[in-house]
Amino acid sequence: MLLAIDVGNTNIKFAFFEGEKIIRTFRLTTQTERTSDEFGMYIQGLSEDFGIKKEDIDGVVISSVVPNVMHALNNSIKKFLNLTPLIVGPGVKTGIKLVKTNPSEVGSDRIADGVAALNMYGGPVIVVDYGTATKFDYFSADGVFESAVTCPGLIISARALWGGTARLPEIEIKDPGTIMAKDTITSLQAGIMYGHIGEAEYIINRLKAESKEKNIKVVATGGLSNIIAQGTDAIQFVEPDLLMHGLRIIYEKNK
């Protein structure tokens, strides 16, 4: 059994694979002050709650965009699971070719997303990842990471709006069903939702136009990907666990 771990800025997601199938997942909030013992306690305790013994886990792969977490997390895997994790980074085989001026700046989450999208849908493909930041990444048919566009995330944008104003309330983020808003709540919902749908459509269309490629697929992932995708024809596919599948594929490439 493979344990895939995605360390994001907001959450750390854990997924257990049997073959190509995810059988269990759980999340922890990302806290840089956790010790290796705390990580080990959570991993071992929650795994056992799911009926998964540590002896069942024979491999671990990690993607991280939070360096300060990695020392404790890495040590917890070694200490509690007796395994050395594969950490996605320079020197790890992914099949993705980087053309950026500084490849070391590319987050391993974006690489894992691209690996999964190319494997599952084929290229050329645009991956839209709705996480703490919203990322639009374009991969050519032969696996070249051609472009990376990074925008403020949907939640970050919403919190900035109601946190930076005196009289605007915190709201549920959802499609109000109409842009003809009549009150404060639907006004905020319309602005947040349709603003991000418009952002997605413009950036996707601009990437398609400047790449001059035809038949580019678009796949969205991340927590709010489904609600955005429902509001636009620019996104063809939604795969919430895209990154985790990318980690599985990368692990198999390096096993």
Name the active-site residue from 109, 113, 129, 137.
109
Nearest to 236 by CA among 133, 138, 125, 140: 125
The answer to whether 129 is a known catalytic residue is no
The number of beta carbons lying within 10 Å of the beta carbon of residue 176 is 20
Site of tokens 């009926």: 51
Catalytic residue set: 109
